[in-house]
Structure 1
Amino acid sequence: MLAADGAGTQHERQVMAKTISEIAEETGYSRTTITMVLSGRASEYRISARTQKIIQDYVAEHGYTINQTARNLKTRRSHTVGFVAPQIANPFFARFMASLEACCRAEGLVLITTSSGEDPALEARALQSLMERGVDGLVLAPCAPRPAAATRKRGRRTPMVLVDRHYPGDSVEAITSDHRENARLLTEAVMASGAERMAFFCGHPDNPAIVERIAGFREAAGDGENARVLTADDDSAAAGETMMQVLLADGGELPTALVCSSLLVLEGALQCLKQARSVVPPEMIIATFDYDGFLELLPNTVIVIRQDEAGLARAAFRSIAAQIGGRPAAEGTRTIVDAELVHLNATA
């Protein structure tokens, strides 16, 4: 069975599209002439109407594709940006990645994403691999302090911006939320909702974002026995489960508010609590960083710091684009993107 002419011809044009060299060889015109016609500059170079028509008719029939390898060699650009995330499973980084990809696509760039799994060795390997592939810029949410020359290749520094986390002493521009202030506001909102005993579950306490969140929590709640901080080495649902097991093993009353440093930690903590007590007490106030739809399904009062993933992505992309264009930010610059305090399911 034959395909309709229009569909078949269009498919063939897509599959068999020609490069400038192939068009030049088959039409008998120079590569320069082909380039001028395709770029709309034929009149500027006094290329005849007849020549333009021959080239345009040929391209209309056969299609045209850029030889990306040759283009990259000529421009010394790959038209790609690399992003190394700690955990793609974390909804915050998944949404950030989607927004960053949209920024790249709008400018004709391709985003290449990989994950470090919060492992410094994997992070270093990922960065090296992306640089070897010649990415034009790097976006990194670091899981550990970085060596000073970590983004140099062949004596040239690859444009880079850090997101979410900024280790002290790092000279690369960072785009983050104000983690300390957001934690203070979240904790004050929890206390204003009637919480008398709080437990703050924190994954990866060496992460500078978590260090700042703990500081903000302490600033609002103090360091008494009714404002307890529990930590685990990694940011994961398993870490949340482990911290809840520690809390339950201590006996005594449950806290009237559970505050978690991430959605992954909250997920594990609530699963563990439900398995141990059959139900998450509906009177317990739940507070966390970052929003997800499942929070709307909880019967509890839920208070959330909702970070602006799209705003963070736009700021990170602007930084990378400026550096690629030869306009780097001052060393140690930190750009703060506002977050929002949101009350969900609050009872009157």
Structure 2
Amino acid sequence: MTVTLRDVARAADVSIATASRALAGSSLINQATQKHVVQVAAAIGYRTNTVARALKTRKSRLVGLTVHNLENASFRVLASVVQARLQALGYQVILSISNDDVAQEREILQTLVDHGVDGLVAVPTGGNGAALLAMEHAGIPVVCAVRRVVGATLESILAADMEGAYAGTQHLLGLGHRRIGLIVGPGDTTSGKERLAGYTRAMQEAGLTVDPALIHRGRYLPETGVAGANALLALGVPPTALFVANHESSLGVLRVISERGLSIPSDLSLLFYEDSPWFEWQRPALSVVDSGAADMANLAVDRLMSRIGGVANSGREYRIGSRLLERASCAALPTS
């Protein structure tokens, strides 16, 4: 037996008009009522005729989400939170993986436009600002997360990466370390540039000259961790602490540590960036500067829903604070 809109209204104890507006995401309905109606509709098996509704309202109830990969724990959290939030509001999410590739991202954006998405949350490569602005001009709101697109006036939800890297480096300095190696992302990415700036600031404030030999930049891949850790540990005077501010490099670094038979933290202090559930289960448990992926995701959804509801693009940049999680992989440098 087909469940009708009238059945939803009766079960939710609202009028048919209210049920219709709530399921359509109307800004005339408060968020609590909308969530209640959507949940009741799902519980009794109501399914909207999405084609008919799209033709009538010019809304597809589809939202695009693009991320670089799903190896990065922050991207997995972002996808999970965005999916759950939007599903509760009656939207379906089209998740796409760009592999941080400009050409692949360009194809993804065109596909999302062809499918008539109502909005987009994007972890951008940074190379398709014109395409993202074209979506905005076509009435498809875009909210960027994790990275900004230089030269494009788009709302962006970013981590406080400079402050996070500064706090992480200060933590290692406070433990007595002076030769602190840094593995970081490329300088043309928001996180790569800002995390290097935070490290540099902390080192300079401590009266130390920043040694380029202690800095390894590379793409967000485990291979970067392998190359960086091997290069830094092969120095004539190797670092006593390693700050891995490139999350995808973490596995590569841990592989090198194991292959070299190093004991953490007695042989080398390790500090990572962007928390992952298995970091706490590692032995020793890994200290980390966490970038607040869940908070970024929630704010991105809030901003996107406001934009879909008719709020203009502010081009504003929002920042989510990073925090240091001290575990067991960093130790005070023994005094000679």
CA contact (8 A) 2:264 2:270 kept: no
Q: Does 1:344 align with 2:330?
A: no
Q: Which residue of 2 aligns with 1:162?
A: 144
Q: Which residue of 2 aligns with 1:143?
A: 125
Deviation at 1:210, TM superposition (A): 1.0
Q: Which residue of 1 aligns with 2:166?
A: 184
Q: Which residue of 2 aligns with 1:335?
A: 318
Alignment deviations for residues 64-91 of structure 1 (CA, whole Å, 9 cap, x no partner): 6421110111111111111110111111
Q: Mark the CA change 1:35 to 1:317 in structure 2 (over 3 Å): closer, same or farther.
A: closer
Deviation at 1:147, TM superposition (A): 3.3
Residues in 2 aligned to 1:225 and 1:35: alpha-carbon distance in whole angstroms = 66
CA contact (8 A) 2:109 2:131 kept: no
Q: Normalising by structure 1, what TM-score? A: 0.77
Give the gaps of 5 or more residues in structure 1: 1-12, 21-32, 43-61
Q: Does 1:241 align with 2:226?
A: yes
Q: What is the 5 A alignment of 1:44-123?
A: 65-123=47-105
CA contact (8 A) 2:214 2:239 kept: no
Q: Which amino acid aligns with 1:129?
A: T
**Structure number, greater radius of gyration:** 1
**Aligned-partner SS, 1:344:** coil
CA RMSD of aligned residues (A): 2.9
**Aligned-partner SS, 2:272:** strand
Residues in 2 aligned to 1:205 and 1:155: alpha-carbon distance in whole angstroms = 30
Q: Which residue of 1 aligns with 2:306?
A: 322
Q: Normalising by structure 2, what TM-score? A: 0.80
Q: Which of 197, 203, 210 does residue 179 from structure 2 map onto?
A: 197
Residues in 2 aligned to 1:198 and 1:67: alpha-carbon distance in whole angstroms = 59
Q: Mark the CA change 1:86 to 1:35 in structure 2 (over 3 Å): closer, same or farther.
A: closer
CA contact (8 A) 1:201 1:229 kept: yes
Q: Mark the CA change 1:35 to 1:309 in structure 2 (over 3 Å): closer, same or farther.
A: closer
CA contact (8 A) 1:183 1:216 kept: yes
Q: Mark the CA change 1:251 to 1:212 in structure 2 (over 3 Å): closer, same or farther.
A: closer
CA contact (8 A) 1:85 1:116 kept: yes
Q: Which residue of 2 aligns with 1:50?
A: none
Q: Mark the CA change 1:219 to 1:308 in structure 2 (over 3 Å): closer, same or farther.
A: same
Residues in 2 aligned to 1:310 and 1:225: alpha-carbon distance in whole angstroms = 35
CA contact (8 A) 1:189 1:303 kept: no
CA contact (8 A) 1:198 1:226 kept: no
**Aligned-partner SS, 1:148:** helix
Q: Mark the CA change 1:151 to 1:128 in structure 2 (over 3 Å): closer, same or farther.
A: farther
Residues in 2 aligned to 1:99 and 1:154: alpha-carbon distance in whole angstroms = 23
Residues in 2 aligned to 1:213 and 1:127: alpha-carbon distance in whole angstroms = 28
Q: Mark the CA change 1:64 to 1:325 in structure 2 (over 3 Å): closer, same or farther.
A: closer
Residues in 2 aligned to 1:225 and 1:154: alpha-carbon distance in whole angstroms = 43
Q: Which residue of 1 aligns with 2:24?
A: none
**Aligned-partner SS, 1:259:** strand
Residues in 1 aligned to 2:322 and 2:235: alpha-carbon distance in whole angstroms = 36
Q: Which residue of 1 aligns with 2:274?
A: 290
**Aligned-partner SS, 2:152:** coil
Q: Mark the CA change 1:36 to 1:166 in structure 2 (over 3 Å): closer, same or farther.
A: closer
Residues in 1 aligned to 2:71 and 2:128: alpha-carbon distance in whole angstroms = 23
Q: Mark the CA change 1:155 to 1:256 in structure 2 (over 3 Å): closer, same or farther.
A: closer
Residues in 1 aligned to 2:173 and 2:240: alpha-carbon distance in whole angstroms = 10
Deviation at 1:298, TM superposition (A): 4.5
Give the gaps of 5 or more residues in structure 2: 18-43
Q: Mark the CA change 1:261 to 1:154 in structure 2 (over 3 Å): closer, same or farther.
A: closer
Residues in 1 aligned to 2:178 and 2:187: alpha-carbon distance in whole angstroms = 24
Q: Mark the CA change 1:35 to 1:297 in structure 2 (over 3 Å): closer, same or farther.
A: closer
Alignment deviations for residues 208-252 of structure 1 (CA, whole Å, 9 cap, x no partner): 2210110110000134339821112x101111112223224x442
**Aligned-partner SS, 1:296:** helix
Q: Which amino acid aligns with 2:101?
A: D
Aligned residues: 298
Moved more, 284-293 or 299-308: 299-308
**Aligned-partner SS, 1:152:** helix
